[in-house]
Amino acid sequence: MSAGEQGGQPATHLDPDYSSADATATAWSAAVGGMTEAEIFWLTTVRPDGRPHVTPLLAVWSDGALHFCTGPGERKARNLETNAHCVLATSTAGGNDLHAGLDVVVEGAAVAVRDEATLRRLAALYAEKYGSDWHFDVRDGAFYGASNRAVVFRVAPVTAFGFGRGETYSQTRWRFDGGS
């Protein structure tokens, strides 16, 4: 199990070529805090013909990984059936402010979550983070909301990047066991 799966500390590297002279590497705990608080994430998957597919969605951080859900027939779910590699990206402090915030990009493989105890815990996190509109019932290894079935995926980071903006700009890379 990698450090990302366990929630441990990754190898951290500040890229001086893309950082202010006085920048320091962003702590992994700051990235986790940003992902925990962020509401919107951008998921990138790969279509069977190799073209990228990007879509916004909601996600929760738990047990060292990001978790998201989608309908089994949606493009992103169908893409993940043939290629589990994906990227999730989010931003803090308004996201589009050039002079403030932290962008976090997580690379990993999406793994379906079917364990009902884990799904119940994740469903509670969704409701806590996003409110009662995002309440899910759990049965048959999936989320159910408004009569729609959603499969849940877990993405443990293999490699992650943090792009800090503000008085100093920084580009930090976090590598977990097996990351490049």
Domains and CATH numbers, the chain: 3-175 (2.30.110.10)
What pLDDT is stored for residue 101 in this prediction? 87
Share of the chain above pLDDT 90, in %: 81
Mean pLDDT of 110-138: 96
pLDDT band at 2 (very low <50, low <70, confident <90, very high): very low
CA angle 89, 93, 99 (to 5 degrees): 100
Q: Which residues of 122-157 are buried (b: 16+ CB within 10 A; e: fewer)?
A: bbebbeebeeeebebebeeebbeeeeeebbbbbbbb
Mean pLDDT of 161-169: 91
Integer Cα distance of 39 and 25 in angstroms:
24
Q: Is 151 helix (H, G, I), strand (E, B) or coil?
A: strand
Integer Cα distance of 164 and 173 in angstroms:
11
What pLDDT is stored for residue 95 in this prediction? 65
Q: Is 45 helix (H, G, I), strand (E, B) or coil?
A: strand
Integer Cα distance of 73 and 28 in angstroms:
34
Helix, strand, coil percentages for the chain (3-state, nearest 5): 25, 40, 35
- Residue 41's φ and ψ, nearest 5 degrees, are -125, 155
What pLDDT is stored for residue 99 in this prediction? 74
- Residues 80-99 pLDDT 10s: 999 999 999 999 866 677 77
The pair of structure tokens assigned to 31 is 């990235």
Instruction: Of 50-59, 115-124, 138-147, give the lowest mean pLDDT range.
Output: 138-147
- Residues 53-78 pLDDT 10s: 999 999 999 999 999 999 999 999 99
Greatest alpha-carbon pair distance for the chain in Å reads 54
The single residue listed with the structure tokens 């995002």 is 134
Length of the chain: 180
Flag whether pLDDT at 112 surpasses 50.
Answer: yes
What pLDDT is stored for residue 136 in this prediction? 95
The single residue listed with the structure tokens 């999406």 is 110
